C-alpha cells in the first residue's frame, strides 16, 4: 500500500465508511498533502464504496480542496472588500516579490502556494492572511514578509 | 426614537449555563418553547425566522432521531461575530444547543464550523469534551460533534450545509420540505445560528420579558454587530435592535461616512441622504450583523465590483439565473465603466436582477441583486464615470 492508501484506510477507520464521512476523510488528506490527488480520490472511492466521480464531484466543489498539487504551506490572502480597502494588494505584491511567484502559483521548492480567498472573518483586522490553518490579522507588506521568513527558517 | 444607541451584554456575559440547563430540564418542552416564542427572538443568521416556531415545528415531528445543528459557517463578508462568540463563550453555544435538543427531542448536535476557523478546533473540541461530562451529571443524553467546512459561502445556506455534512457538493435543496421535517439525513433538524442559540439560552435564564422589552415590535432584543471598514472603532458590539442608521453612524463613523452596507455582500447599501430614515432591524434593513462603513474616498464602483466577484465565485452554479446572472452583472458594470456599453445598459441589468430575485433557487441568487440595485440606484454616476 502507498502512503496515501494507508492514510485513507486509517481515516476511514476513524471516521467511518459511509458517504457522510467523506468530508472529514478528504479534509484529513488535505491536512497531510495540501491537495487531493487522483490517487487519493481513487483510494477514498474504494474505501467508501462509491464512484471516484462522486469523490471528485464533492472535492472539486470546495475552494479549499485543491485537486492540483500545492506547496507545503498554503498562503491565502483575503481579497474581499474591507481587506481590499485596507491594502491586501500591497501585501500580495510583497509576497510575490519575496517568493518570486505570482498569485495562484507554487514555489519551485514546493514550500509555498500563494492564493487569495474570500472573507476570512477578520474584517475589523484587515488585511488578513491564512497560512494553512494559522491566522495572521492586520498584516502589512513588511510583517507578512517577516512571517514567511519565519516559515522559511523552520524547515 | 431616542438618539442613543444602547449597548447590551447578554451574549458575552458569564453565566452558570449548567444551572440554566438543570432548571430548564425540569420544565416541559412546550414551556421552554413558549418562552422562546414569547420573547420574539428571530434567527440571527440573516433570514430572521422566529426561533421558537422553528423549535415547535421540530418538536411536533415524530421521528426516531432528530438533530440540532449550530450554523457556524459565517461566510457573509463583514461578519465575524460568530467566531468571537465561539472564542469567548463557547460553553453558552453548546448549552444553547442542548436546550434546543431538550425542547425538540433531539439527542445529537452538530456544529458546522467553516474551514477558515479550523484554528478553533482544538479548544472547541476540549470544551465539548468537558461539556459532555457536565451533561452526564445532569443525566441528559445529548452529544455534540464538529463538522468542518472547506471554503464555500453557499454552505451557510441551511440545506446546502446539510448536503455538505452528508458528504456531497454543497448545493442547496428545494424547499419544502423544510429542515424541521426533513433535514440532515432526512431527519427533523433545527438549524440555528451561533448567536441565536446563545440568546435562546439567555431567554431560558431570564424569562422572555427582559428580551422582549428591548428593541422594537418587529425586532425584539439585541444583536451582535460586526463593524468594519472606514471606522475608528472596528470590532464587535452587542446593541439593542431598532436604532436608526444615523445614530449608528454617529457612533461608529469617521465623520465622513458616505455609505453603509448593511447585511454584508447580500445586504443593502444605504447612502448618506437616507441614514436618518433607515432603521436597522427586520422592519427596516435586517442584518446578520455585518455593518461596513465607507467614507468619501472610496469608489462605489470598486465596492460593487468586489461584491459581484464574490457572488460570481461563490454561486454554486446549480441554477441558471444565479450562475449566469452573477457573471452578467459583473461583466455588465465593467463594460459600462469602460464605455463599451451605454449607461442605459444598467437598466437592462436591473431587469436581469429582477429575474434573478424571482427565479433563483436559494438566497444567494435572490440576494445578489441587493447590493447591485442599491448601489446603482444611489451611486449611478460612480458606476458610469
Ligand atoms: C447563501 C447563504 C448563506 C448563508 N450563510 C449563513 C451563515 O453563514 N450562518 C448562518 O447562521 N446562516 C446563514 N444563512 C442562513 C441559513 O440558511 C439559515 O437561515 C440559518 O442558519 C438559520 O438560523 P437562524 O434562524 O438562527 O438565523 C445563509 C443563507 C444563505 C442563503
Ligand atoms: S441561487 Fe445560486 S447558489 Fe443558490 S442554488 Fe442557485 S446557483 Fe446555487
Ligand atoms: S473582508 Fe477580509 S476578513 Fe472579511
DSSP per-residue letters across B120-164: GHHHHHHHHHHHHHHHHHHT---EEEEEE--S-GGGGSHHHHHHH
**Is there a single domain that holds both residue B75 and residue B202?**
yes
The DSSP code sequence of B313-359 is HH--S-SHHHHHHHHHHHHHHHHHHHTSS-TTHHHHHHHHHHHHHHH
Res B4: pLDDT = 77
Indicate the average pLDDT of chain A: 97
Cα B231 to Cα A128, B241, B257, B279, B304, distances in angstroms = 17, 20, 9, 20, 19
**Is there a single domain that holds both residue A145 and residue A87?**
yes
Torsions phi, psi for A132 (to 5 deg) = 50, -115
Domain of residue A43, residue span: 3-61
Cβ of A136 below 6 Å from ligand 3: no
A101 domain residue, yes or no: yes
**Is there a single domain that holds both residue B164 and residue B21?**
yes
Say what the ipTM of the complex is. 0.97
Task: Give the DSSP H or E segment for B239.
Answer: strand B235-240
Q: pLDDT (tens digit, 9 = 90+) per residue, A65-124?
A: 999 999 999 999 999 999 999 999 999 999 999 999 999 999 999 999 999 999 999 999
Q: How open is the CA angle B297-B298-B299, to the nearest 5 degrees?
A: 125
Res B2: pLDDT = 54
**Is there a single domain that holds both residue A91 and residue A150?**
yes
**Is there a single domain that holds both residue B192 and residue B50?**
yes
Distance between CA atoms of residues B174 and B361, nearest Å: 7
- Centre of ligand 1 to C-alpha A36, Å, is 28
Q: pLDDT (tens digit, 9 = 90+) per residue, A30-65?
A: 999 999 999 999 999 999 999 999 999 999 999 999
**Is there a single domain that holds both residue B137 and residue B36?**
yes
DSSP state of B186: G
Task: Give the DSSP H or E segment for B226.
Answer: strand B222-229
Q: Which three cell numbers stand for residue B284?
A: 427596516
- Rounded to an integer, the average pLDDT of A131-143 is 98
Structural contact between residues B262 and B280, judged by C-beta atoms closer than 8 angstroms: yes
B257 domain residue, yes or no: no
B226 and A123 within 8 Å at the Cβ level: the answer is yes
Cβ of B43 below 6 Å from ligand 1: yes
The DSSP code sequence of B90-130 is HHHHHHHHHHHHHHHT--EEEEEE-GGGGGGHHHHHHHHHH
Best residue in B121, B150, B254, B261 to probe A by mutation, most A CBs within 10 Å?
B150
B150 and A23 within 8 Å at the Cβ level: the answer is yes
Q: pLDDT (tens digit, 9 = 90+) per residue, B230-264?
A: 999 999 999 999 999 999 999 999 999 999 999 99
A68 domain residue, yes or no: no
Distance between CA atoms of residues A18 and B199, nearest Å: 35
Distance between CA atoms of residues B197 and B190, nearest Å: 11
Structural contact between residues B330 and B312, judged by C-beta atoms closer than 8 angstroms: yes
**Is there a single domain that holds both residue A80 and residue A145?**
yes
A50 domain residue, yes or no: yes
**Total tally of structural domains belonging to chain A:** 2
**Is there a single domain that holds both residue A12 and residue A77?**
no
Burial class (CB in 10 A: 0-12, 13-18, 19+), A3: exposed
Nearest-Cα distance to chain A for B119, in Å, is: 6
**Total tally of structural domains belonging to chain B:** 2
Cα A153 to Cα A83, A140, A148, B226, B266, distances in angstroms = 28, 20, 9, 36, 42
Res B314: pLDDT = 98
B79 domain residue, yes or no: yes
Name beta bridge partners: B70: B111, B192
Res A1: pLDDT = 82
Q: Which of B166, B181, B213 is the last residue of a domain?
A: B213
Res A154: pLDDT = 81
A66 domain residue, yes or no: no
Nearest-Cα distance to chain B for A21, in Å, is: 6
Structural contact between residues B226 and B12, judged by C-beta atoms closer than 8 angstroms: no
Domain of residue B316, residue span: 300-384
**Is there a single domain that holds both residue B196 and residue B82?**
yes
Low-confidence residues of chain B, pLDDT below 50? Answer: 1
Q: Which three cell numbers stand for residue A17?
A: 465508511
CA nearest A127 in B: which residue?
B229
Q: Which of B213, B245, B271 is the last residue of a domain?
A: B213
Q: Which of B318, B340, B322 is nearest to B159 (CA)?
A: B318
Model pTM above 0.95: yes
Q: pLDDT (tens digit, 9 = 90+) per residue, A58-74?
A: 999 999 999 999 999 99
Amino acid at each position: 500500500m502507498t502512503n496515501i492508501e494507508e492514510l485513507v484506510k486509517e481515516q476511514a477507520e476513524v471516521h467511518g465508511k459511509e458517504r457522510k464521512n467523506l468530508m472529514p476523510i478528504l479534509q484529513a488528506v488535505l491536512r497531510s498533502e495540501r491537495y487531493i490527488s487522483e490517487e487519493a480520490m481513487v483510494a477514498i472511492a474504494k474505501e467508501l464504496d462509491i464512484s471516484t466521480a462522486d469523490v471528485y464531484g464533492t472535492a472539486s466543489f470546495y475552494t479549499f480542496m485543491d485537486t492540483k498539487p500545492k506547496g507545503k504551506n498554503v498562503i491565502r490572502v483575503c481579497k474581499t472588500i474591507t481587506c481590499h480597502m485596507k491594502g491586501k494588494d500591497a501585501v500580495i505584491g510583497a509576497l510575490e516579490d519575496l517568493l518570486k511567484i505570482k498569485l495562484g502559483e507554487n514555489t519551485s521548492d514546493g514550500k509555498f502556494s500563494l492564493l487569495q480567498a474570500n472573507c476570512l472573518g477578520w474584517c475589523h483586522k484587515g488585511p488578513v492572511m491564512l497560512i494553512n490553518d494559522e491566522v495572521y490579522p492586520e498584516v502589512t507588506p513588511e510583517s507578512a514578509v517577516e512571517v514567511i521568513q519565519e516559515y522559511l527558517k523552520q524547515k | 426614537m431616542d438618539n442613543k444607541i444602547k449597548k447590551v451584554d447578554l451574549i458575552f456575559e458569564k453565566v452558570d449555563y449548567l444551572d440554566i440547563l438543570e432548571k430548564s430540564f425540569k420544565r416541559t418542552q412546550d414551556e421552554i418553547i413558549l418562552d422562546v416564542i414569547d420573547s420574539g427572538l428571530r434567527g440571527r443568521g440573516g433570514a430572521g425566522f422566529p426561533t421558537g416556531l422553528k423549535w415547535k415545528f421540530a418538536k411536533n415531528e415524530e421521528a426516531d432521531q432528530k438533530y440540532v445543528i449550530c450554523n457556524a459557517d459565517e461566510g457573509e463578508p463583514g461578519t465575524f461575530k460568530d467566531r468571537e462568540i465561539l472564542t469567548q463563550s463557547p460553553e453558552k453555544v453548546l448549552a444553547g444547543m442542548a436546550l434546543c435538543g431538550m425542547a425538540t427531542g433531539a439527542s445529537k448536535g452538530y456544529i458546522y464550523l467553516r474551514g477558515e476557523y479550523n484554528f478553533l478546533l482544538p479548544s472547541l473540541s476540549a470544551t465539548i469534551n468537558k461539556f459532555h461530562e457536565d451533561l452526564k451529571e445532569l443525566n441528559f443524553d445529548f452529544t455534540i460533534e464538529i463538522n468542518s467546512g472547506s471554503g464555500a459561502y453557499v454552505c451557510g445556506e441551511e440545506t446546502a450545509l446539510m448536503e455538505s455534512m452528508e458528504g456531497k457538493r454543497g448545493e442547496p435543496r428545494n424547499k419544502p420540505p423544510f429542515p424541521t421535517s426533513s433535514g440532515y439525513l432526512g431527519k427533523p433538524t433545527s438549524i440555528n445560528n451561533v448567536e441565536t442559540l446563545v440568546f435562546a439560552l439567555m431567554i431560558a435564564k431570564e424569562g422572555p420579558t427582559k428580551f422582549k422589552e428591548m428593541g422594537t415590535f418587529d425586532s425584539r432584543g439585541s444583536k451582535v454587530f460586526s463593524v468594519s471598514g472606514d471606522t475608528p472603532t472596528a470590532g464587535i458590539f452587542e446593541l439593542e435592535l431598532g436604532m436608526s442608521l444615523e445614530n449608528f453612524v454617529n457612533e461608529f463613523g469617521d465623520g465622513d461616512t458616505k455609505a453603509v452596507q448593511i447585511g454584508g455582500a447580500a445586504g443593502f447599501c444605504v447612502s448618506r441622504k437616507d441614514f436618518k430614515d433607515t432603521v436597522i432591524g427586520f422592519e427596516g434593513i435586517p442584518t446578520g450583523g455585518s455593518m461596513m462603513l465607507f467614507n468619501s474616498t472610496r469608489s462605489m464602483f470598486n465596492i460593487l465590483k468586489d461584491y459581484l466577484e464574490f457572488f460570481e465565485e461563490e454561486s454554486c452554479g446549480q441554477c441558471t439565473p444565479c450562475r449566469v446572472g452573477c457573471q452578467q452583472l459583473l461583466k455588465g458594470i465593467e463594460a459600462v465603466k469602460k464605455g463599451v456599453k451605454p449607461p442605459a445598459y444598467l437598466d437592462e441589468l436591473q431587469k436581469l436582477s429582477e429575474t434573478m430575485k424571482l427565479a433563483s433557487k436559494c438566497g444567494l441568487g435572490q440576494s445578489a441583486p441587493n447590493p447591485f440595485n442599491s448601489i446603482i440606484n444611489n451611486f449611478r454616476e460612480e458606476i458610469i464615470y
